[in-house]
């Protein structure tokens, strides 16, 4: 399975957090290192897959907030609002693909 950049970063943060916990634990170092790696991989995958729909939904709402409220109907305003629509559609496609 190919990992995304977000997954790799999240896995690193989880691993670092668990490594800090190691300083307070009295477990054998090798056993703890293997457990940290397994947990970091598992949690990163689970957290990203559960958070992604919420994050994409927030991105859609933020993009929708960029529509021009007082569009003058000029080609520039129409193009701008079309670009916002395209962004919303692109994010929506990511949401559909989860």
What's the confidence (pLDDT) of residue 98? Answer: 54
Tokens of 7: 């997954």
Q: Is the dihedral of CA 31, 33, 36, 38 positive or negative?
A: negative
pTM of the model: 0.54
Q: Give the SS3 label for residue 68.
A: coil
Find the angle CA(43)-CA(47)-CA(51) to the nearest 5 degrees.
Answer: 175
Lowest mean pLDDT among 12-16, 54-58, 65-69, 93-97: 12-16
What's the confidence (pLDDT) of residue 17? Answer: 72
CA distances to 4, 31, 36, 57, 61 from 43, rounded to whole Å, are 14, 18, 10, 22, 27
């Amino acid at each position: 399975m190919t990992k995304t950049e977000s997954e790799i970063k999240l896995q690193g943060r989880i691993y670092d957090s668990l490594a800090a916990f190691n300083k307070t634990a009295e477990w054998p170092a090798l056993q703890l290192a293997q457990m940290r790696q397994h947990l970091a991989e598992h949690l990163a995958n689970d957290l990203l897959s559960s958070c992604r729909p919420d994050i994409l939904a927030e991105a859609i709402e933020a993009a929708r907030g960029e529509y021009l409220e007082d569009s003058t109907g000029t080609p520039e305003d129409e193009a701008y609002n079309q670009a916002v629509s395209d962004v919303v559609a692109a994010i929506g496609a990511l949401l559909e693909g989860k």
